[in-house]
Amino acid sequence: MLITFEGIDGCGKSSQAKLIADRLADQGIECVLVREPGGTDLSEQIRTILLDAKRSMPIAHAAELMLFAASRAQLVAEVIEPALKRNAVVICDRFTDSTIAYQGYGRGLPLAYIRSVNDLATNGLIPDITFLIDVPIELAIRRRKGMGDDRMESESRLFFSHVVQGYMALAQKHPDRIHVIDGADSMEDIHHTITRLVEYELGNELRHAHRMNNRARHAESTPALPATGDFDYSFDVTAEALAS
């Protein structure tokens, strides 16, 4: 199962991702917690370039999009896909929705390109659950006081209001996947809501796996019908043969 956390800088993603990862690990569930951009050697190097607070070199919007995508492609291939194959729960602090919100709505790059680049980077992988932590921009800024802004975080309020619009549009488009969480609540209350939803989804996944297992066992115990090729479907009986 792939769970992603989304929302503007300072909304509480990393705090909640860590809390749920620890909780699942305590229950004996293998849990892989990664952040974007980052999570592999290559992706961490790309992170250094992308979040360079000193802005030591210019990065064009299209280059920014593709650097985030390159970081993601390596993370998916090297960490996320193998983890999902062994049935681990993967928790990702930011994923594809961030690119739509930040590079699409924030930077104004065409959404059609972004979707294609996202699809290529993820090999078509879509999160099972996404928590979008919604906080007013002012509150996020207050929470981040003293944390030091990176290259993305030092963007204007207008930029962030576009990012928020992007996130809300995504939530409207994918209501089954994206759960909008009120980030102004206490850390404990948010964790409680997230835990409830994750445990419900994990239960569903287990029930589904159980059903598939039963179905496979049932098929094994049913005597196999001969394959089509084993029957004689010959229709070359002639009219004379029928008449005789």
Ligand X SMILES: Nc1ncnc2c1ncn2[C@@H]1O[C@H](COP(=O)(O)OP(=O)(O)OP(=O)(O)O)[C@@H](O)[C@H]1O
Stretch that binds Mg ion, among 10-18, 55-63, 98-106, 166-174 (CB under 5 A): 10-18
Residue 53 within binding range of ligand X, rule CB under 6 A: no
Stretch that binds Mg ion, among 8-16, 53-61, 101-109, 169-177 (CB under 5 A): 8-16
Shortest Cβ 208–Mg ion spacing (Å): 32
Nearer to Mg ion, 5 or 105 (CB): 5
Residue 161 within binding range of Mg ion, rule CB under 5 A: no
CA 241 to CA 228: how far, in whole Å? Answer: 25
Residue 12 within binding range of ligand X, rule CB under 6 A: yes
Site for ligand X in 177-206 (CB under 6 A): 186-187, 190
Residue nearest to Mg ion (CB): 14
Nearer to Mg ion, 36 or 64 (CB): 36
47 binding partner (options Mg ion, ligand X, none; Cβ < 5 to 8 Å by kind): none
Residue 38 within binding range of ligand X, rule CB under 6 A: no
10 binding partner (options Mg ion, ligand X, none; Cβ < 5 to 8 Å by kind): ligand X
Q: How far is CA 107 from CA 27, 50, 155, 241, in A?
A: 41, 14, 10, 79
Q: Contact, 145 vs 14, CB < 8 A?
A: no
Burial class (CB in 10 A: 0-12, 13-18, 19+), 26: exposed
Shortest Cβ 128–Mg ion spacing (Å): 21
Residue 151 within binding range of ligand X, rule CB under 6 A: no
Stretch that binds Mg ion, among 14-22, 54-62, 73-81, 217-225 (CB under 5 A): 14-22
Q: Rule CB under 6 A: choose which of 9, 36, 97, 128 binds ligand X.
A: 9
Question: Interface with ligand X by CB under 6 A: which residues?
Answer: 7, 9-15, 143-144, 186-187, 190
Question: Interface with Mg ion by CB under 5 A: which residues?
Answer: 14
